[in-house]
Amino acid sequence: MDLEFLQSMDIQILVGVAVAALAIVVGAVYLFASMKSKGCLDPENFKEFKLVKRQQLSHNVAKFTFELPTPTSVLGLPIGQHISCRGKDSQGEEVIKPYTPTTLDSDVGYFELVIKMYPQGRMSHHFRELRVGDYLAVKGPRGRFRYQPGEVRAFGMIAGGSGITPMFQVARAILENPKDTTNVHLIYANVTYEDILLKEELDSLAAKYPGRFKVYYVLNQPPEVWDGGVGFVSKEMIQTHCPAPAPDIRVLRCGPPPMNKAMTGHLDALGYSPDMQFQF
């Protein structure tokens, strides 16, 4: 009788172990599947996303909001990376250009692009013609930038024009992460006051995180009343508004090619090593 009882117990234990093992396997498969399916982007193939809102911010700048497949879907774009957008220019020729969304994966169900449309820009033509209900072909993620929270003590950022979008994305991700203590110092250059993109959002970050985020605006043609920088970004401005060269800081730059070249010269002259610099 005792032997039968022990045999019964052994069988129950084996069954329990088998059920537990099966649950672990099923859980792992589900976790892997969910991780694999996270994000709507495809790095190899273009996928189309519907434009659900278009907000004109100025005469040549608009914010485009695109719908993701479900209200809980995320784009799946790593911090500091960008997407490739495909469209047609005024001649009907295909054109592909990189853009950085201003949204993060914490913004579920949609993603946004703030686009400055230039008169002769080939992809600018496509965005000018884009209307609510139309679809945009997108592929990604793309980019060499990799960021892990806390990898540096502080970022210096030097942006010009539409080069602000990757900076804004990185700054938002850092500041909105309660576990990330990285400081951000941004120099943002434009021609006129009207050219400043995302100013309201940048000023909001500066007000919300006063000890961790600083922004210094530079204008080539400032208004009569102006307390920011004037002209082009200089070595002196970088010295004043960016963290000093150190192993635990990094300076990011993104702007028109002539500006990027000039900033490289300034940073080299100020003692920032190649490892301390990154160009989007």
CA-CA distance, 64 to 43, in Å (whole number)?
Answer: 22
What is the model's pLDDT at position 279? 96
Predicted local distance difference test score (pLDDT) of residue 10: 54
Amino acid at position 101, single letter: P
pLDDT above 80: residue 251: yes
Whole-model pTM: value is 0.82
Kindly report the CATH number that applies to the domain delimited by 154-279: 3.40.50.80
**What are the structural domain ranges in the chain?**
47-142, 154-279
Residue among 85, 61, 28 nearest 200 (CA): 61
Residue, of 21 and 243, whose pLDDT is higher:
243
pLDDT tens for 98-118 read 999 999 999 999 999 999 999
DSSP 8-state assignment for residue 31: H
pLDDT of 243 above 90: yes
Interval 16-28: pLDDT, tens: 544 454 444 334 4
Residue 8: pLDDT above 60? no
**Can you give the pLDDT at residue 278?**
97
- Report the catalytic residues: 82, 99-100, 254
Reported as a single tens digit per residue, the pLDDT across 56-101 is 988 889 999 999 999 999 999 999 899 999 999 999 999 999 999 9
Percent of the chain with pLDDT over 90: 82
Chain mean pLDDT for the chain:
89
- Across the beta sheet with 82-88, the strand order is 94-99, 82-88, 135-142, 47-56, 61-67, 110-116
Total count of residues recorded for the chain: 280
User: What does the pLDDT read at residue 26?
Assistant: 37
Tokens found for residue 246: 């150190």
- Predicted pLDDT at 29: 35
Fold of 47-142: Elongation Factor Tu (Ef-tu); domain 3 (2.40.30)
Q: Binding site residues for FAD, as ranges?
A: 98-99, 114, 116, 123-124, 165
Does residue 211 carry a pLDDT above 80? yes
Contacts of 272-278 spanning 24+ positions with Cβ under 8 A: 272/245, 273/245, 276/245, 276/246, 276/247, 276/249, 276/250, 276/251, 277/250, 277/251, 277/253, 278/145, 278/250, 278/251, 278/252, 278/253
DSSP 243: P
Tell me how far apart the alpha carbons of residues 35 and 166 are, in angstroms, rounded to a whole number.
25
Query: Residue 33 pLDDT > 50, yes or no?
Result: no
Query: Per residue in 123-138, pLDDT tens?
Result: 999 999 999 999 999 9
